[in-house]
Structure 1
Amino acid sequence: MTEPRLLPWPAAASPDATARLRHLAAGALRTGRPLAIWREPASEHPRLLVSRSLEAAYTGLPPALDTQAPAGFAFFPFRDSDHNPALFLPADVQFDLARPEVVRVAPAARELVPNLTAWLSLPTPPELAWHYSAQPAPPGTAEADYTQLVRTGVQAIEDKAVVKVVTSRVAHRPLPAGFDPLAAFGQLSRQYPRAFVSLVSVPGVGTWLGASPEVLAEVTADGHFHTMALAGTQPLVPGRAPQDAIWRQKEIEEQALVSRYIVNCFKQLRLREYHEAGPRTAVAGQLLHLRTDFEVDLKNVPSPSSLGTDMLRLLHPTSAVGGMPKVAALEFLHRHEGYDRAYYSGFLGPVNVAAPGISRLYVNLRCLQLRPEEAILYAGTGLTADSDPLREWQETELKLQTVASVITPPA
């Protein structure tokens, strides 16, 4: 049995595709299974993936991001550890709102068919039992503590211990009564049509919701590899065209460092044939960033099947979330940042789900972690020698607003 099993919905089931997605998510959560729900940039249709068990998940990336890699969803932390494992969730059960009349079951998960068939006929539970992390919640970061961290980072740059470092902080927000993560996912999808919007819930690991603007690595159906350098931030001013934005030297330098880092990764793989476009101003919700795109035609690469995975190993964590040089910047963060980022500034996304050979992985930015009564929000800023502590704090405040909007009750 090599083809997926297509299970039709019972005639009595709700015809509404969103209600069907909720029904499947409830079944996965009720039985303690990992799930991922996502919506690609500019797409109207979310997808859902359920793995038959946490034990079936890979603790790491498949051998290569090519047509031979299994279909699934990558969910990687900033730093791999026993309590923040790097996960690849197999696509055992799939539901696509673009084709809501069927549920796809992978051959490896055919033992789920009887129970799943029965579950499709049952009413949807009124509440969904989302997974929560077993780790202690990181402490919130006070303004005085973050501005001092920025000063320490700038001093490290002046002392030439690092060229650039990306510091981050944590904010806690109480959840409003009756908060619904799936409804919040839908709200983020409407508010940020150009973002990769995701809702991932894994036993023991927790539930994460986000709307990321940044591609880490993409392999397309026509055999091209893409990545981007995204850095520098300013608010989108109403009535002003994004292309008219004026960038300070600090943001220009910050973005150039990320671009040079990507080019250096290409050089390490002896890759000389690539196309670079930018920098240009890119819109991400209510923020503007500087963006440079990189593209490689895999037909011109000696080992195309391994390029995606090789680049991932070199890129992550990128200089846009860690700093440069990588080892020195990560050591600085370990000593001074004061908390475990877990899956914030890691990466996530589908591999070979839409079709064999199509993979899209995004940096896990503009995200929050759900706890029973609160949300833990994360934001960071890239520091250079010209960084001003108060400006950096204000930039994190702007970035927090992306996901904070879905947990703030209307006035």
Structure 2
Amino acid sequence: MSATPYPAPVPSSGASAGTPSPAVEPRPLVVRTTRIDPLPGGPTALVDLLPDTRPLTWVRRGDGLVGWGEALRLDTFGPGRFADAEEAWRATLAHAVVRDEVGLPGTGPVAFGTFAFDDGGTGESFDGARPQGSLVVPRVVVGRRGRVTWLTTISPGGTLDAPGAAVLDRTDRAPVTSPGRVEMRDGAVDARDWPEVVAEGIARIRAGELEKVVLARDVVATTERPVDPRWLLGRLAESYTSCWTFSVAGMVGATPELLVRSEKGLVTSRVLAGTIRREAGMSDDDALLHAAQLARSSKDLEEHEFAVSSVARALEPFCSSMNVPDAPFVLHLPNVMHLASDVTAVLDPGARSSSLTLAAALHPSAAVCGTPTVAARDLIREIEGMDRSRYAGPVGWVGADGDGEWGIALRSAELADDPHHVRLFAGCGIVAASDPAAELAESEAKLVPMRWALGG
């Protein structure tokens, strides 16, 4: 684990090399939140403020948080990556001086976070020294919730930045540029070979080794010009308004799935499992027919039931009461339709569990791993053939009181060190009734948002 004042990284004591680094005494953060004038309406108002190509973003329907700069970065490794991140965040807050004049969720100190799907890795891209969890504390955060807009400055070392709109006035915003021409190629597993991977998963399920497994594939995009993540974020926020558009530590996307929201003792998790493609130009009547087909599909209902049950089981130890819907609803997105259920609960006040604790308990759910969890994860490691990195891992933010929102990094892409290369990901839930060819088609549908965001 490392608690690293900007900008110099410090080797983590949790790195796989196993040699602890000297303890680093965190410099105190000075945090000030003030209300500012409302932003223009529209879903991209927050994203349009981002000044450079290292954006931090969590936005839905125009509300949410964006940040830039880096006051502090907390990197963690291995199976303890969630607990270590929470411990480091609490230690940081213990040294913070906070003046919050707004007092809403997302005001005061905020850390944006992203975590790897697995605590290990496979494939050529895996590097055992690479962090598998990151909390990034920006220097500037702008948030909007309904009619209230605020700005937070976070300064290391006991200094205080100018408050409010003065920060925006002095922020230079580099022009947003398109990536130009985009070429796509298959990633770790060729698309022609991926149905064989799915068929192997189906065979293992029918042999009784497990009930469900989620298998994913990647596609690599090569761009004419360097990728500006703000280009992707603006397009996603504009067209996928019901999703949570995010950008943290090189992971960019628009996820329809909320792993957990914790706010003043109330907990919500939106579970998605079961999918049907929505064809371009489909009429409303046809969309309703497809939705009805999805709602009656025994294969998709079975997949969805596994996912909802896994979320309810994971939340139960932390909650005093819970509501699990009897049946899912159909969530309509531009590219697909999903079976969806909103699980809600009340936190046990004695547990004092943060949103990060809940995210760690929920991950990986059956929606992104399978059932039983250990058997599904082991099969993914064995046959999937790629390193997921932070795809399908938790992504979101946590505040000073532990409340926050964490999504699952789906409909997403990983920006490479080379700004001309981007990895796109898509996965499908596999059960005994799955068809390999249909799952390949579903994965193509799930790649549409990021292909389109790139301009393809």
How far apart are residue 188 of structure 1 and its match? 0.6
Aligned twin of 1:280:
329
Give the secondary structure class of the aligned counterpart of 1:335.
helix
* CA shift in 2, pair 1:275/1:348, >3 Å: same
Residue 43 (str. 1) matches residue 62 (str. 2): yes
Give the secondary structure class of the aligned counterpart of 1:318.
coil
Residue 163 (str. 1) matches residue 190 (str. 2): no
* CA shift in 2, pair 1:141/1:293, >3 Å: same
Aligned residues: 374
* CA shift in 2, pair 1:251/1:370, >3 Å: same
1:239 alignment partner, one of 265, 284, 287: 284
In the TM superposition, what whole-angstrom CA distance separates every residue of 1:53-103 from its partner, at most 9, and x where no partner exists? 43588964425999x896311211101354242112224432337899985
More divergent stretch after superposition (162-171 vs 233-242): 233-242
* CA shift in 2, pair 1:303/1:50, >3 Å: farther
1:51 and 1:57 in contact (8 A); partners too:
no
| Structure 1 outlier segments of 4+, above 6 Å | 6-9, 16-20, 97-102, 117-120
Mapped to 2, the partners of 1:270 and 1:189 lie a distance apart of: 33
In the TM superposition, what whole-angstrom CA distance separates every residue of 1:370-410 from its partner, at most 9, and x where no partner exists? 2322321100000001111100000000000011101135x
More divergent stretch after superposition (249-258 vs 229-238): 229-238
1:37 is aligned with what amino acid?
Answer: T
Residue 396 (str. 1) matches residue 443 (str. 2): yes
Mapped to 1, the partners of 2:392 and 2:191 lie a distance apart of: 21
Mapped to 1, the partners of 2:321 and 2:33 lie a distance apart of: 42
Residue 62 (str. 1) matches residue 86 (str. 2): yes
Mapped to 2, the partners of 1:19 and 1:311 lie a distance apart of: 28
Aligned twin of 1:4:
31
Aligned twin of 1:369:
414
In the TM superposition, what whole-angstrom CA distance separates every residue of 1:288-332 from its partner, at most 9, and x where no partner exists? 11111111122xx25241274554333101111111111111111
2:261 and 2:403 in contact (8 A); partners too:
yes
1:328-407 to 2 correspondences below 5 Å? 328-352=375-399, 356=401, 358-371=403-416, 372-407=419-454
How far apart are residue 169 of structure 1 and its match? 0.2
How far apart are residue 159 of structure 1 and its match? 1.3
RMSD: 3.8
Mapped to 2, the partners of 1:232 and 1:343 lie a distance apart of: 22
2:339 is aligned with what amino acid?
Answer: L
Aligned twin of 1:22:
50
Aligned twin of 2:196:
148
More divergent stretch after superposition (54-63 vs 379-388): 54-63
* CA shift in 2, pair 1:56/1:100, >3 Å: farther
2:253 and 2:450 in contact (8 A); partners too:
yes
Give the secondary structure class of the aligned counterpart of 1:106.
strand
1:261 and 1:319 in contact (8 A); partners too:
yes
2:270 alignment partner, one of 225, 228, 244: 228
How far apart are residue 6 of structure 1 and its match? 6.2
2:153 alignment partner, one of 94, 100, 105: 105
* CA shift in 2, pair 1:195/1:118, >3 Å: closer
Give the secondary structure class of the aligned counterpart of 1:306.
coil
2:255 is aligned with what amino acid?
Answer: S
1:198 and 1:209 in contact (8 A); partners too:
yes
More divergent stretch after superposition (324-333 vs 282-291): 282-291
* CA shift in 2, pair 1:297/1:187, >3 Å: same
1:64 and 1:308 in contact (8 A); partners too:
no
* CA shift in 2, pair 1:392/1:52, >3 Å: same
* Structure having greater relative contact order (Cα 8 Å, sep ≥ 6): 1
2:211 and 2:431 in contact (8 A); partners too:
yes
2:263 is aligned with what amino acid?
Answer: T
How far apart are residue 167 of structure 1 and its match? 0.3
More divergent stretch after superposition (208-217 vs 84-93): 84-93
More divergent stretch after superposition (356-365 vs 99-108): 99-108
In the TM superposition, what whole-angstrom CA distance separates every residue of 1:135-162 from its partner, at most 9, and x where no partner exists? xx99343123210100110011011111
Mapped to 1, the partners of 2:219 and 2:117 lie a distance apart of: 18
Aligned twin of 2:341:
292
* CA shift in 2, pair 1:227/1:322, >3 Å: same
How far apart are residue 339 of structure 1 and its match? 1.0
Mapped to 1, the partners of 2:309 and 2:387 lie a distance apart of: 27
* CA shift in 2, pair 1:54/1:264, >3 Å: closer
1:166 and 1:382 in contact (8 A); partners too:
yes
1:79-228 to 2 correspondences below 5 Å? 79-81=118-120, 82-96=129-143, 103-106=151-154, 108=156, 110-111=158-159, 113=161, 121=170, 123-125=172-174, 139-177=187-225, 179-200=227-248, 202=249, 207-221=250-264, 223-228=265-270
Mapped to 2, the partners of 1:118 and 1:310 lie a distance apart of: 33
1:297-308 to 2 correspondences below 5 Å? 297-298=346-347, 301=348, 303-306=350-353, 308=355
Aligned twin of 1:74:
113
1:315 is aligned with what amino acid?
Answer: L
Residue 259 (str. 1) matches residue 308 (str. 2): yes
Unaligned 5+ residue runs, structure 1?
A: 10-15, 30-34, 129-136
Of Structure 1 and Structure 2, the greater strand share is in 2
More divergent stretch after superposition (318-327 vs 280-289): 280-289
